Amino acid sequence: MAKDSRDTSKESSEFLGAGGFDPIEVIVLGRVRGFIEELVEAGLDDALGRSRYQRPVSQDMPRPPAGYRHGRRERQLLGSFGPVTISVPRARLSKADGTSQEWHSEALPRYARMTKQVEALIAGAYLSGTNTRRVRRALGALFKGAVSKDTVSRTWRKVQADWRHGVGARWLRRMLSG
């Protein structure tokens, strides 16, 4: 057997043209990364009550700061724009009882590795009757190979669980007599 059926790199590169480089996609992806990082940074600024290099200032009496920044970490995020690595700031927020807790972004949930749009796209492709491997191949060019058959299975289980606890729970408890 000379051809490996799992290798989709040649198939997807034929669609991308020579070299697979598209300057528009690179620029858009850079802007998307910058926008997401600014969004998360603004959320941290709101939580701390000040911007990155600003000191806490109070006219009446000095109060302790709401918290401290302490570095950044890299996160992979898969969106309809493709896979992107973003730099997320870290911070510790001070509580009233003197303890502190790690800050978590509201815009970027803790364990989310893909956007809701991608989850809906994967679930829709799966519901259309394809199996997990075909969904991976179908979406491989769009997401640059970032969707595996395991990702499809995990996403489908998550969508099912969300449905069972949300709309599906009400649908299952509905009255059939009326």
- The CA distance from 33 to 134, in Å, is 29
Claim to verify: residue 121 and residue 80 sit in the same structural domain: no
Claim to verify: residue 103 and residue 118 sit in the same structural domain: no
Claim to verify: residue 53 and residue 87 sit in the same structural domain: yes
Claim to verify: residue 82 and residue 161 sit in the same structural domain: no
Pairing of strands 100-102, 67-79: unpaired
Claim to verify: residue 128 and residue 101 sit in the same structural domain: no
Low-confidence residues of the chain: pLDDT under 70: 1-21, 56-64, 167-168, 178
Q: Report if residue 62 sits inside a domain.
A: yes
What is the value of pTM for the model shown? 0.66
- The CA distance from 84 to 29, in Å, is 7
Domain ranges, residue 93: 19-111
Please count the structural domains in the chain.
2
Query: Would you state the pLDDT for residue 60?
Result: 58
Q: What sign has the CA pseudo-torsion 122, 4, 141, 145?
A: positive
Claim to verify: residue 118 and residue 43 sit in the same structural domain: no
Query: Would you state the pLDDT for residue 75?
Result: 92
